[in-house]
Amino acid sequence: MITTPNTAFDISSATPATVAADWLVVGVWANESLSGAAATIDTATGGLLTKLRESGDLTGKHLELIPVLNPTGIAAKRLLIVGLGKPDAATRATAHDAAAASARHITGKKVGTIAFAVPSPEFTLAVGVGLAQGCQGPGVRKTTPTRFAPEKLLLVGGDAAALPRVLAESQALWLARELVNAPPCDLYPETFAVAAAESGRTHGFDVEIWDESRLAAERMGSLLGVAQGSTRPARLAILRYTGNPGGPTLGLVGKGVTFDSGGLSLKPTDGMVDMKCDMAGAAAVLAGTQAIAAQKLKVNVLGVLALVENMPSGTAVKLGDVLTARNGKTIEVLNTDAEGRLILADALCYASEQTGFLVDFATLTGACLVALGTETSGLMTNNDAWGEQIQTAIRTAGERAWKLPMDASYDGLIKSKVADMRNTGGGRWGGAIAGGKFLEQFVGNAKWVHMDIAGPAWADGDTAALDAGGTGCMVRSIVEMARAFS
């Protein structure tokens, strides 16, 4: 049901002019004389790039795209020149986006081999995964698809040692985005759990699935409270990858609401229309764990996916109901649309019993979108040093997060008159922080980071480097977290 491209990846050390491919992509830096592969192609084509520069058509501005459909002097059938931007501003993110924009330009039609002349070997990972990003979009489900993954991606002049990582991260990014793009009629807690088990079998990690009777036996009353309104039963998927026997374990917890209608606190249509994306946290944890296992990183990972559907019905949790979470704490439900924190409460309790190092990923609040926009995730923590370590991994991956305050003075946001806490902030202010403060009640003594990914998880429209829909956010960051942890 969840299918991802079976594109092959390879490295070539041939000179780019001699590489046979349907497309050869070459990058050009802004405000620089032609160098490396660009200079080689310029010479082979009798000065084509120089002429384009002189005419002002080629500037090297980041994401500028110039297709040349009938190049002479090179073995590739077509040439695509892509702007890499200024070299001193180049990062993993700018190289990733340049490669992604190139692939998006090409893959609207069926294509065999795309070769990319990697500007220098240190960009192999960014270019490889960026190309993969640009090869996939939601249009693959149309009877006449609007995007086609190529048979082969060839990284010319790339670092051969990076190839397994390129493959692992590309496939993981594809999986995460496909899970988010999958319609809620296909992807619900049971089928998500099956996808997790399949990934575990293929890539070498253990997956244990808890059904609703096990969840009840494990006292996960808060998670089950959300699930009780749906005809689709809840699941908890527990992923275990052991790459460092006896060592510490990185605990990753994901919000997997396969559809968020709001429950009895029903969302209006405009707010509900994209709510198949509400499992992007769980998708990132599954895909990230897959990428870590596929590379056999020397690290231990525990992944916990909390999988439910949030629906209104005669059996749904009601406003004023009180739920009891796994750690015994009681929760007054004042808004059934604040369901993410209810399911994460039990998942975090369980994870904190297993390890002292936690990161959760959740499309938790619209308030975080209001605060930070769609580019940047909110980061909240109970331990500044752990928060800094996670923030550094995110930055290294070329993704973005911004820390929000968690001072004790915010505790009032979740105070309840009838139970240990309530599930909404009450007023309009500090909604993202209220979510963080609530989750903090369930992590015990663990060092913990909460990532509110409500903004970056979903793209409303196409951009140069990314098709609309699931973005695969945090997959690359999770790999960096694991590398820093091991």
Residue tagged active-site, from 86, 152, 219, 267: 267
Residue 82 vs 275, nearer CB to Zn ion: 275
User: Contacting Zn ion (CB under 5 A), which of 340, 431, 435, 456?
Assistant: 340
Residue 279 vs 393, nearer CB to Mn ion: 279
Residues composing the chain: 486
List the x/- string, 325-364, binding to Mn ion by CB under 5 A.
------------x-x-------------------------
Contact between 130 and Zn ion by CB under 5 A: the answer reads no
Residue 258 vs 382, nearer CB to ligand BES: 258
Contact between 260 and Mn ion by CB under 5 A: the answer reads yes
CB of 267 to Mn ion, least distance (A): 7
CB of 172 to Zn ion, least distance (A): 23
Residue tagged active-site, from 341, 422, 437, 476: 341
- Is 267 in the active site? yes
Number of H helices, E strands in the chain: 15, 19
Tokens of 25: 């992509």
Q: How far apart are the first and last CA of the chain?
A: 34
Task: Write out the E strands in 70-151.
Answer: 78-85, 113-117
| 3-class DSSP state of 24 | strand
CB of 173 to Zn ion, least distance (A): 23
Which residues here bind ligand BES, judged by CB under 6 A? 260, 278, 335, 337-340, 363-367, 369, 424, 431, 454
CB of 346 to Mn ion, least distance (A): 17
CB of 355 to Mn ion, least distance (A): 27
Q: Do residues 457 and 371 make contact, with C-beta atoms less than 8 angstroms apart?
A: no
User: Contacting Zn ion (CB under 5 A), which of 278, 346, 399, 480?
Assistant: 278
Residues of this chain, 150-209, that bind Mn ion according to CB under 5 A: none
Tokens of 437: 């403060």
Question: Judging by beta carbons within 10 Å of its beta carbon (0-12, 13-18, 19+), is residue 331 exposed, middle or buried?
Answer: buried
User: Contacting Zn ion (CB under 5 A), which of 178, 260, 360, 399?
Assistant: 260
Q: Do residues 321 and 333 make contact, with C-beta atoms less than 8 angstroms apart?
A: yes
Residue 100 vs 275, nearer CB to Mn ion: 275
CA distance linking residue 56 with residue 460, whole number of Å: 33
CB of 262 to Mn ion, least distance (A): 6
Long-range CB contacts (< 8 A, 24+ apart) of 201-206?
203/290, 203/293, 203/294, 204/241, 204/293, 204/294, 204/296, 205/239, 205/240, 205/241, 205/289, 205/290, 205/293, 205/301, 206/239, 206/240, 206/241
Q: Which does 396 bind (CB under 5 to 8 A by kind): Mn ion, ligand BES, Zn ion, none?
A: none
Q: Which does 424 bind (CB under 5 to 8 A by kind): Zn ion, Mn ion, ligand BES, none?
A: ligand BES
Residue 189, C-beta contacts closer than 8 angstroms, at least 6 positions apart: 227, 232, 233, 234, 235, 256, 258, 307, 308, 309
- Is 395 in the active site? no
Site residues (vs Zn ion, CB under 5 A): 257, 260, 278, 340
Site residues (vs Mn ion, CB under 5 A): 260, 337, 339
- Mind telling me the catalytic residues? 267, 341
